[in-house]
Structure 1
Amino acid sequence: MISKRWLRGVVVAGVLAGAAGCSAPPAPRAAPGPVQEERPGGTPPAPRSARPAPPSAPPSAEACPEGGVRLVETEGNAAMGLRVAGFRLENCGTEPYVLEGYPQVSLRDGRNDPVAVSVEHGAAGITGVPDSDAPPPQRVTPAPGRAATVSMVWRNLVTDSAVAAVTAPVVEVEPRPGAPRLWLRLARPVDLGNTGRLGLGPWTAVDG
């Protein structure tokens, strides 16, 4: 979930658009047992083996990464060249995971090469609107099975026709200093234009 307070300045600017469980399938019916057919002469053939039933158990869940957390892309918003992306850091390990302030974020292009980008804390430098109402960075400690979120904001803007526009389909996140870095290929790539700037919000606990 994108922090509404952190994005208050974006909302004030008026440029962001507001953006089942399925029941388990019935168990497969048992395959028919061996069938015997009578041959001329009264000698029955050897019984045919029954076709094995397909497995009913679901596939195993994705393994938890080395650091004990996984990164998931969540919702995003786009309007008038302003972009917002949200990410969820899920604690899939066995111990509480302490987060402080902001993660380290970098971007990579389609060949996984680093993209030159200046990462700023807060949205004011991107939106032009002070984000004084945003919550201050604080310690967030998701327990096993819980999560925290972080958001990014940027402008898809070309200010110099002589400079190529940049699109980064991969985000690389270091959740806390020294932690294993997490790579995520995005469903909605970061289209920076040629601004070279990215605004980053602090870690926020997920309620409930």
Structure 2
Amino acid sequence: MKQLSTIIFSSILLISCNGQHKENRKTTLTKDTSTLDSTHKSPSITKKEDLPEISKAKTWLTTAIENSLNKANGNMENSNTEAEGNVNTIYTKQYYDYKDDAINVDLDDGLTNEEFFLKWKDKYNPELAGVGTGFLIPEQDYGHISVSQCELKKKIANGFIFNLVIADPQYKKKYKMDIKVIRNANSFLIDDVMEH
């Protein structure tokens, strides 16, 4: 009888522990899912005071990309200053160096893929660098470029991340990417292009 009561008590204890374990697991899964959902959702309502700055950054980014690519390809006339080689860059020095390394991976005097990853992994996501491809678009030859979509993805401490689609109607191509812009004096600079 004593053994039977011990077995029954042990069984009840095991069953009750299993029930609690399953409930805890469900709660944990729910928390993880909600965390994932919140990171993938677009930003909630933007503060009213941020709207002028967002609009300014969006306009700057769209104009900078279109002017830079179309002037580089001869689809737009360069100013006298630009023709003399005094081109204002639209990139931060650090991003320019990062992308330059990405373009030259595995070429003469370039880094290996592993060296590139190790050098930049703490500052950027090297998997989204567009290794072996040019600035902003992967093609060497392209037509007249326009930004067909530029939507705020996220506000960050010193700037914004925009989701962009760059269109090349002549070659019937679209390039999707996220671009991080940071404040620079009274304007902005591109500090990362995450190519998808």
Question: TM (normalized to structure 1)?
Answer: 0.23
Structure having greater relative contact order (Cα 8 Å, sep ≥ 6): 1
Q: Which has the higher helix share?
A: 2
Q: Which has the higher strand share?
A: 1
